[in-house]
Amino acid sequence: MGRGIRQGNFFRRVQNLLRVGSILLTLMTESFVETADSMRSRGYGLKGRTALSLYRFDNRDRAVVVTLFLGTALLGSAYLLDQMAALYDPKIILNPITGVSVLFYFIYALLALLPMLLIISSQ
């Protein structure tokens, strides 16, 4: 339509850019006003208003968080100790497998399979 920011001479392009920017700013401001009206009509910001939450963080959730934290910390230490390096050039080259690296591979497998294990245990 001849109003793109890459059409016309320099002054025309600047004018087109300002028009597009003005349109976007207007639409964004209208959206903010609608959002504020909606929040106000729902009682947002009133004293004593609390958020409904049916979720409780229980011991199972704590166990998963602790497992994820410990597993990540142990895998980080495996990385720092250079126990889990692997290369592919055109064959797979692994570090020599030691007792410590077997432990780290087991922890990695546990973390990788944790979602599946949680689903199986919840049924």
| CA dihedral angle for residue 68, residue 74, residue 79, residue 81, rounded to 10 degrees | 180
Confidence (pLDDT) at 67 = 94
Q: Is 26 helix (H, G, I), strand (E, B) or coil?
A: helix
Tell me if the pTM is above 0.75: no
**Please, what is the average pLDDT of the chain?**
88
What percentage of residues in the chain have a pLDDT greater than 70? 98
Q: Is the pLDDT of residue 45 over 90?
A: no
Find the length of the chain. Answer: 123
Contact 64, 118 (CB under 8 A): yes
Higher pLDDT, 42 or 69: 69
**What average pLDDT does the segment 96-105 reach?**
88
Q: Is the pLDDT of residue 113 over 90?
A: yes
